[in-house]
Amino acid sequence: MADDNNAPVFQIQRMYLKDLSLEQPNAPAILLEQAQPQVDIKLSLAAEPVAEGLFEVSVTATVTTTVQDKTLFLIEAKQAGIFEIRNLPQDQLEGILAIVCPQMIYPYLRAIVSDVCTRAGFPPVMLTEVNFQAMFEAQQAQMAAAGQSNGEAIPN
């Protein structure tokens, strides 16, 4: 019988809303404006170990909606998950943490942002689909380019 103690492990332990805020700093006057609002959306990712073989991965969306340079509303939502990941090479672990885990978390984040907008009395903001693999590859290429510009050797 083969020894399964070194078999790769990937399991979701928990998904949860880690942080959520809604601000309407110029209400109620701004709510009477008739101009078309501008929406700016920023996404960020974070991953950190929490225990041996356990990682917390979070995706944060910051949605800023303005009307004539005044904030209509600002939503910041951070959805997180705890994942058990064991017995994987470092290069595969990085991809799992930067691509697979955020892909699992992101649908929850999209629903939360849409729901908060609706509950605040605005039309829902629908976050677009995100290609986390393309984001990861672009980040890797940017880091490689920065390493080359610093004169550092880039390992193959």
Residue type (1 letter), 122 = F
- The torsion defined by the Cα of 46, 48, 50 and 52, in degrees rounded to 10, comes to 140
pLDDT of residue 149: 60
Q: What percent of the chain has pLDDT over 90?
A: 71
pLDDT of residue 153: 46
pTM of the full structure: 0.85
Whether 116 is in a domain gets the answer yes
pLDDT of residue 130: 92
What is the rounded distance in angstroms from the CA atom of residue 119 to the CA atom of residue 152? 51
Work out how many domains the chain is built from and give that number: 1
* pLDDT tens sequence across 19-74: 999 999 998 988 888 889 999 999 999 999 999 999 999 999 999 999 988 999 99
Whether 95 is in a domain gets the answer yes
Report phi then psi at 45, rounded to 5.
-120, 150
Query: Per the structure block, which two tokens stand in for 125?
Result: 């903001």
Catalogue the E-assigned strands of 2-149. 9-23, 38-51, 54-67, 70-86
Q: What is the CATH number of the domain that holds 117?
A: 3.10.420.10
Whether 3 is in a domain gets the answer no
Q: Residue 36 belongs to what domain range?
A: 8-149
Determine contact, residues 52/35, Cβ cutoff 8 Å: no
Q: In the block, which residue shows the tokens 């109620």?
A: 28
What is the chain's mean pLDDT, rounded?
A: 90
Give the pairing type, strands 38-51 and 70-86: unpaired
Whether 156 is in a domain gets the answer no
- With 70 as the cut, is the pLDDT of residue 156 above it? no
* pLDDT tens sequence across 110-125: 999 999 999 999 989 9
What is the rounded distance in angstroms from the CA atom of residue 139 to the CA atom of residue 38? 27
